[in-house]
Amino acid sequence: MTENLFSAVLTFSLLAGGTIAVGSEMVTPQRVATAPGAVATLPPVTIVGKRIAATDAVLLPTVVITGCRQARTEVAIDDTATGSRLQ
């Protein structure tokens, strides 16, 4: 019972503290840098990249067939009358 009560009080106090922290940041006036050396200027950045071709990006390994099944397979559906189609 006391663990549940302590957990509820702790959760409420964390929520209240977070709300107060966010609220105090929202009402605090923003400080503007007025000193001449307060602003840092960075040098321009040049990005150099090389685009690779799509054929260079995807390389599939070579497949070598080492054996062949000699057993006769049965056709589950006879579609010889309609003709075969490839999709």
Report mean pLDDT in 10-residue bins for the chain, 87 residues: 89 95 86 66 84 65 76 64 57
The angle subtended at Cα 18 by Cα 13 and Cα 23, nearest 5°, is 125
pLDDT of res. 57: 60
**3-state percent breakdown (helix, strand, coil) of the chain, nearest 5:** 35, 0, 65
pLDDT of res. 22: 92
pLDDT of res. 8: 93
User: CA dist 65 to 30, 46, 60, 62, 69, Å?
Assistant: 72, 50, 15, 10, 11
CA-CA distance, 9 to 18, in Å (whole number)?
Answer: 14
pLDDT of res. 9: 94
Q: How does DSSP classify residue 81? A: T
pLDDT of res. 2: 83
pLDDT of res. 37: 61
The domain spans of the chain are: 1-28
